[in-house]
Amino acid sequence: MTRREMLLGTSAAAAGAALSGCGKAARKFPVSNVSIVKASGYTMDVYDTVYRMVAGHNLNVRGKRIVLKPNLVEYDARTSINTHPTIVHAVYEAFLKLGAGDVRIAEGPGHRRGTLDLADAAGYFSTIAKFEDSFTDLNTDAVAKRRIPQPLSKLSSLYLPHTVLDCDLLVSVAKMKTHHWAGATLSMKNLFGLVPGAVYGWPKNVLHWAGIPETIVDLHHLFPKQFAIVDGIVGMEGNGPIQGTPKYAGVLVAGRDPAGVDATCCRVMGIDPKQIEYLRLARGEENLVEGAFRQVGENIRSVRTDFALVEEWKQIRAA
């Protein structure tokens, strides 16, 4: 039995318990808007595209404290691991233009300890003026302990950074990628980067031992005020989230409901969202069907781009 099999074995049992719910009726979720917008590349046009997309969701952000959480993991010039800095900057500008009182970019990478060095290598310093002034390293930010309400994982509490605990809206600015442990990593899995490395280490392996899908959902529940944007212009297929290959999909996906955004991204990637365990745990299968979300902009069929899947994940391919 590999570590992955062991972890998935325990999570499957927990998922079964959570979904069976002792015979209770399945929970219903309100139908949320998920927008899909075509974007051909990381060019100046994308600033206007992102602004229109965010504005279309009628978020009340005037005077609010916004934290943007990109996916910044490792840098390798040969592939597309991180949320592109142009997208992060475009989202940053969009929220300022919409009247946000303060917009911070914040991330706590899981492998590399030199977060600023990583951000520099990934192009964040050269793309975003005075990047360091608007950035918080979540791995080393001040922390507070938070109890997890009704945890699905083996964790009962987590230390979390004040920057994200104190914000009015957390915006997950994720990358569209396959993931060798979770199937796909999108806006919900991106929240692993909120967990402080200075407490839990690099990697934040406590989350893996507590159950990957379960901790994804637990973290999601700890932050009820979220918005999600996924950079799928160039994503990653195959052995993601680090060793895969770049995949052009030419889309941005956004919405107030991260699970809805991630389920839609899965469909864009040719993945059945009902096969992604953390989405099942978060919503239940019946709330992951296509009609569960109101698609705005492009329809999924017009942008579907099948991402290559490694052998271990072939079963998640959508029909």
Partner 1 sequence: MTDWKTRQNGDGGWAYSRGCSWTEPTVFVLLAQAASTPDRESLLKGIRFLSSIGRRDGGCSPQPGVEESTWVTALVALLPEDAVNGQQRRRAIDWLKSRTGQESGWSYKLRQRLSGNKDEFPEGWPWFPGAAAWVIPTSLGILAFERAIRRQDPETDELQKRVQEGKRFLLGRMCADGGWNHGSSRALGRDGDSYPETTGIALLALSGGVVSARDASQMERAKAAAHRHLANCRTAEGIAWLRMGLAAHGENAAGAVEPVRRTNMDEALMTLAGAERNPLLA
Q: How far is the CB of 194 from partner 1 (least distance, A)?
A: 16
CB 199 → partner 1: shortest distance, Å?
A: 5
How many Å separate Cα 226 from the centre of its chain?
11
Alpha helices in 141-285 (DSSP H): 162-165, 197-200, 205-209, 212-222, 258-268, 277-283
Q: Which helix (H) or strand (E) holds 19?
A: helix 3-20
Which region, judged by CB under 8 A, interacts with partner 1, from 23-31, 43-51, 95-103, 237-245?
237-245
Least Cβ distance, residue 18 to partner 1 (angstroms): 22
Q: Is 290 in the site for partner 1 (CB under 8 A)?
A: no
Smallest distance from partner 1 to CB 168, Å: 21
The yes or no reply on residue 76 touching partner 1 (CB under 8 A) is: yes
Helix (H, G, I), strand (E, B) or coil at 286: helix
CB 27 within 8 A of CB 259: no
Given the rule CB under 8 A, which of 23-31, 84-92, 134-142, 252-260 is the region that contacts partner 1? 134-142
CB 70 within 8 A of CB 103: no
The size of the interface with partner 1 (CB under 8 A), counted in residues, is 38
Q: DSSP string of 52-63?
A: HHHHTT----BT
- Asked whether position 12 contacts partner 1 by CB under 8 A, the answer is no
CA–CA separation, 102 and 5 (whole Å): 43
- Least distance from partner 1 to the Cβ atom of residue 117, Å: 4
Name which position in 12, 114, 285, 294 contacts partner 1 (CB under 8 A). Answer: 114
Residue whose CB is less far from partner 1, 310 or 318: 310
Structure tokens at 110: 């899981």
Map residues 248-287 to x or -, x wherever contact with partner 1 holds by CB under 8 A.
----------------------------------------
Q: Is 137 a residue that touches partner 1 (CB under 8 A)?
A: yes
| Crossing angle for the helix pair 85-97 and 45-55, to the nearest 10 degrees | 50
List the beta bridge partners of residue 174: 230
Q: Contact between 202 and partner 1 (CB under 8 A)?
A: yes
Rule CB under 8 A: choose which of 209, 245, 308, 318 binds partner 1. 209
* 77 contacts partner 1 (rule: CB under 8 A): no
**51 vs 202, which CB is nearer to partner 1?**
202
Is 3 near partner 1 (CB under 8 A)? Answer: yes
Give the number of other Cβ atoms within 10 Å of residue 93's Cβ.
17
Q: Output the CA torsion sign for 183, 246, 239, 203.
A: negative
Q: Which of 27, 116, 221, 315 lies at the binding interface for partner 1 (CB under 8 A)?
A: 116
Instruction: Tell me which amino acid residue 151 is.
Output: P
The stretch among 39-47, 82-90, 199-207, 224-232 that binds partner 1 (CB under 8 A) is: 199-207
**239 makes contact with partner 1 (CB under 8 A):** yes
Token pair in block for residue 162: 């004040």
What DSSP string runs through 77-146? Answer: TTS--SPPHHHHHHHHHHHHHTTBSEEEEEE--SS-S-HHHHHHHTTHHHHSTTGGGGEEETTSS-EEEE
Q: Which of 165, 199, 234, 308: binder of partner 1 (CB under 8 A)? A: 199
- What residues line the site for partner 1 (CB under 8 A)? 1-3, 6, 76, 111-114, 116-117, 121, 132, 137, 139-145, 159, 180, 198-203, 205-206, 208-209, 239, 242-243, 310, 312
